[in-house]
């Protein structure tokens, strides 16, 4: 295991009042959560890029109807 991880685990273990092994598990859980968040963000960015690429020149020159505009603004949000 890299020294940087062991050092972080030691600091976290002291902060949490637990063992270095428990701290390593906590760091792994935080890393996994961060990775999942990164994947969701990358997927959303890809969806948005694809939507922009699908838009034709005529679409770019005119505003969509208000309802469609509102829906596009909220795209990707869980709670409108």
pLDDT at 80: 47
More confident: 32 or 76: 32
Answer yes or no: is 30 within a domain. Answer: yes
Give the model confidence (pLDDT) of 20-61 as tens digits.
999 999 999 999 999 999 999 999 899 888 877 777 666 667
Give residue 51's domain range: 3-74
What DSSP state is assigned to residue 1? Answer: -
Q: At CB < 8 A and 24+ separation, what contacts does 6-11 make?
A: none
pLDDT at 63: 74
Answer yes or no: is 79 within a domain. Answer: no
pTM of the model as a whole: 0.60
Neighbours of 9 (CB within 10 A): 21
- Count up the domains in the chain and report the number: 1
Answer yes or no: is 80 within a domain. Answer: no
3-state SS, residue 41: helix
Answer yes or no: is 22 within a domain. Answer: yes
Average pLDDT over every residue of 4-28: 95
Answer yes or no: is 44 within a domain. Answer: yes
């Amino acid at each position: 295991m890299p020294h940087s991880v062991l050092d972080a685990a030691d600091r976290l273990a002291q902060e949490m009042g637990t063992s270095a092994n428990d701290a390593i598990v906590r760091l792994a859980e935080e890393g996994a959560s961060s990775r999942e968040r990164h994947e969701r963000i990358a997927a959303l960015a890809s969806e948005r890029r694809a939507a922009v690429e699908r838009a034709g020149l005529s679409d770019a020159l005119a505003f969509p109807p208000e309802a469609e505009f509102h829906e596009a603004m909220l795209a990707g949000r869980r709670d409108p």
